[in-house]
Structure 1
Amino acid sequence: MHDDTISNEGNLKRKKRKFEFPHVFALLFGLIIITALFTYIVPAGEYEREVNDAGRTVVVDGTYQQVESNPTSPFGILEAVHKGMVNGAEIIFFIFIVGGAFGILNATKAIETGLANVSAKMAGKEIYLIPVVMLLFALGGGTFGMSEETIPFILILVPLAIKMGFDSLVGAGMVIVGSCAGFTASFMNPFTVGVAQGIAEIPLFSGMGIRFIIWLIFVAFSIAFVMIYAKKVKKNPETSLMYEIDKRRTMDDAEHDPIIMQLTPRHAIIIGLLFLTIIGLAIGVTYFDWYIMEIASLFLLMGVIAGFVAKLRVNQIAESFVDGCRELVVGALVVGMAYGILVVLEESNTIDTILYSLSGAIGQLPTTFSAMGMYATQSFLNFLVPSGSGQAALTMPIMTPLSDLTGVSRQTAVLAFQLGDGISNAITPTSGVLMASLALAKIPWIKWIKWVWPVIVLSYIVGAIIITIVHLFVWTI
């Protein structure tokens, strides 16, 4: 009888065990291993590269040749993690510094109190915040290529969305889906459209009118997707994919609710300082070519000033900075893990072979389908090279002459690149920006995929239709 009881207890424990999706580090390390195994199958090869008139290193079409195989060794897999961390150091420390700055900001209680006030004042009208916020991020993505710059806003909009009765997916979606939609269908992004058109030797930002219409289409259905889901969650919170996780987070946050909910003049000054920082970021990126170093410095300045405005002691400011960094350890280091995949592809000389094979396959397609072949190729390659400007420098020197040979307009080739490059930014685990944003939002990657896949599939379908239309009726040779 006693043995039967023990046996039954063991069976119950086994039944209670549920499948756990791998931790993000385990997932990315697994992808590094899989990529390394492919280096034993895919032949090594490389293109010659040269620096063009614009100072960019580009691939020279027609120079591909196989080279000695250099598969990744078992120990090389481990080295790829360290090398990825080194290669991603710029973004990693950007996240730490911005996180530290927001740690100081959080210590002032200004944002926390401000969120509570906004939530109370927008009672019953919370849904209208979504299109406004997403339009702003889409404009940022469509004009100055807003990408890494979106990461700090996760720290603001996720808690705001939860306080308004939505969930963390809505908060993260406003940032990620909004900026990705704008970035994908950009009409004047210098890092994608600008670089690609420069390599394709067509006037910079030409075709802007058509691209702006495409931008409107992508942004419109992306906003509709987030709003429809937000309304469903608002009506019944248990339908949220993040219900249990957000419930625990809400309980934790409840222990730290500010005693005084009324905004003080110091709170107002600090919130104003945050808005000035955002305006400064947009001006700096647009007019002064600011990038990660300058943006990190701007947020650090904001954090220090906010600390002094709140009358925090110097040691409190320092401790709050460290606390902010501590919160973002996973989000920062996940960037290096993602870069480790690219290290394996580059050091094994297999990425050029993949590019060569795909471009050769496109050349065999009928003219009508060549543009679609380019779109599919660029979409696939973005999982390997999530950098927009990097993918442009890698592929456009080959796609440009290929478009001439297959009867595809160079404008269409650029559009195929930008749509293929942008859509998967919202799902690819090799994107450091996405994985860092999800880590900050405390959203498991698998739950994010379960939520966002409908709009991703729709984006690919709409992209295919648009490319077909412009190829056949708009940008014809």
Structure 2
Amino acid sequence: MKKTKFPTAQTILFIIAALVAILTWIVPSGKFDSLAYNKNENTFTRTSLDKTEILVASQATLDALKIKIPIEKFTNGDIWKPISIPNTYHKVENKPQGLVEFIKSPIKGIIEAADIIFLVLFIGGLIGIMNYTGAFDAGISWLAETLKGKEFILIVLVTVLVAIGGTTFGLAEETIAFYPILIPIFLAAKYDAMVALACIYLGSSIGTMCSTTNPFSTIIASDAAGINWTTGLTGRLIMLILVTLISIIYILRYAQRVKKDPSKSVIFSQKDDIDALFGSTTSSEATLTMRLKLILFVFAMCFVVMIYGVSQLEWWFLEMTVVFFVGAIIIGIIGKINEYTFVDLFVKGASDLLGVAIIIGIARGVTILMVDGQISDTLLYYASNATNGMNKGLFINVMLYIYGGLSFFIPSSSGMAVLTMPIMSPLADGVGIGREAIVNTYQFGMGLFAFISPTGLILASLAVVKVGYDKWLKFVMPLVIILLIFTMVMLTVSVYL
């Protein structure tokens, strides 16, 4: 009897999209009124079910709406998205998403996610050019020789650096570019692709889970909660250090088992296929010529420029895509690749990541079904009511699970912040804890669930590595349970201190 294979990432997302479409027939549609700041007119726009109202942008207006956020958070640009207004939830006419909407959703998602999709495709094109030059293989051979006997440094270094990127400026989608580059290095160090995947994906998830200066989570959530983003910073910094340490130990233990006995790998059955896809094609004697060193320098600078632009110049996907495109052209010139070959290599490289791009679009389509079905606010309304009358220890842990659950439907950290913080943060006042505790549960709940959430980035990341979702769950679930228990203990202690 033929063994049944676990569904592909695309099929998993289509199943989830179908379930969400069914949910729109069961969960009543509802909306909170929203408030948006108009910078040019210096006014607020309040949008409700039947009308749109222009209000004076003042602290008095916010106080009247029971929004406990300083007016400066809006005027200085900290809050740039419409926020939900507390105590304004109302049911609206149901908008169930039928078969036609379900079929349209992945196409709508691909169109809406075009910015990140083009980034992924252009990264693929750059990787195609790099592979042709032979710079990767020569660099990997050099690194493997340099780290001989000290390969564990690679695990620590990659995980820590990616976590720093996540905690400071929200390094997440950009990590998709790292897999084709780093997996061959980990394979040369006698680890498996799962180790590389764990270092990159878990590093990013840990960083965003314990964000310190990340403007897309910590800062916007704190602003929407009406507190300074530095409030609770010490606790998040401690969590960042401890969670990173626990995760590195977990990865190292697995990596050492695989290094000693490759059959212990959870993806051992795919070893030959992954080696063929990512393994070095040159001999161990491959040398780094001056030209290859220059190519590797330009390639590395693409990421340095990207990180600087995102963190300091407010760049987003358009600018990041341009950086990789220009980098590919410069490398093509240095490598003396003729115009016809360059175009062919770039297109083939992009096509290698087309499946990843489609997964990103389908995942965005799930969110579109939620928004069009108008059930996100209903789920938020009932979630906020569920905590009434709880003591603070139980309250903070229930909030952790609520945010974990909501992140399945709202995977965007900034979207979750502006939608939920004005509703959830006042609940902290009622149980006698600081609002920074709500910001922490929002981050920890979203971050922990991101380890496994199929509507997040994990399926796209797995598609690059050619690893099944079931294999990932087998690898990561023990760590998720360890970190969940640890987080619950830390949260409980924090509200009683």
TM-score (norm 1): 0.93
- SS in structure 2 of the partner of residue 363 of structure 1: coil
Amino acid across the alignment from 1:172:
L
Alpha-carbon distance change, 371 to 259 in structure 1, aligned in 2, over 3 angstroms:
closer
Amino acid across the alignment from 1:27:
I
Amino acid across the alignment from 2:155:
I
Question: What does the per-residue CA deviation read over 1:183-237, in whole Å, with 9 as the maximum and x for residues that have no partner?
Answer: 1112221111100111111113333222211110111111111111100000000
Amino acid across the alignment from 2:493:
I
Map residues 64-213 of structure 1 onto 2, 5 A cutoff.
64-213=89-238
2: CA distance, partners of 1:123 / 1:325: 33
Tell me by how many angstroms 1:366 deviates.
2.8
Residue 470 in structure 1 maps to residue 455 in structure 2: no
Residue 261 in structure 1 maps to residue 286 in structure 2: yes
Residue 46 in structure 1 maps to residue 31 in structure 2: yes
- SS in structure 2 of the partner of residue 50 of structure 1: strand
Match of 1:369 among 373, 394, 400: 394
Tell me the equivalent position of 1:426: 451
- Structure that is richer in helix per residue: 1
Residue 310 in structure 1 maps to residue 335 in structure 2: yes
Residue 276 in structure 1 maps to residue 261 in structure 2: no
Structure 2 residues without counterparts, runs of 5 or longer: 38-73
Tell me the equivalent position of 1:334: 359
Amino acid across the alignment from 2:31:
E
Tell me the equivalent position of 1:20: 5
Tell me the equivalent position of 1:440: 464
2: CA distance, partners of 1:372 / 1:435: 27
Q: Identity across aligned pairs (percent)?
A: 30
Contact 1:45 1:352 in 2 (8 A): yes
Contact 1:365 1:373 in 2 (8 A): no
Tell me by how many angstroms 1:259 deviates.
9.4
Alpha-carbon distance change, 269 to 171 in structure 1, aligned in 2, over 3 angstroms:
same
Contact 1:134 1:223 in 2 (8 A): yes
Query: How well do the aligned residues superpose, as a CA RMSD in angstroms?
Result: 1.6
Of stretches 200-209 and 254-263 in structure 1, the one that deviates more from structure 2 is 254-263
Alpha-carbon distance change, 349 to 252 in structure 1, aligned in 2, over 3 angstroms:
closer
Residue 37 in structure 1 maps to residue 22 in structure 2: yes
Structure 1 residues without counterparts, runs of 5 or longer: 1-14
Alpha-carbon distance change, 258 to 296 in structure 1, aligned in 2, over 3 angstroms:
farther
User: How many equivalent residue pairs?
Assistant: 457
1: CA distance, partners of 2:400 / 2:411: 15
Question: What does the per-residue CA deviation read over 1:109-128, in whole Å, with 9 as the maximum and x for residues that have no partner?
Answer: 10122112211332222122
Question: What does the per-residue CA deviation read over 1:335-385, in whole Å, with 9 as the maximum and x for residues that have no partner?
Answer: 011111111111111111111111110124233322222211111111111
Alpha-carbon distance change, 375 to 254 in structure 1, aligned in 2, over 3 angstroms:
closer
Question: What does the per-residue CA deviation read over 1:241-296, in whole Å, with 9 as the maximum and x for residues that have no partner?
Answer: 11121222324666943697111111100111122222222221221112211111
2: CA distance, partners of 1:109 / 1:363: 62
Amino acid across the alignment from 2:275:
T
TM-score (norm 2): 0.89
2: CA distance, partners of 1:368 / 1:253: 48
Tell me the equivalent position of 1:384: 409
Tell me the equivalent position of 1:56: 81
- SS in structure 1 of the partner of residue 386 of structure 2: helix
Of stretches 383-392 and 281-290 in structure 1, the one that deviates more from structure 2 is 281-290
Alpha-carbon distance change, 85 to 364 in structure 1, aligned in 2, over 3 angstroms:
farther
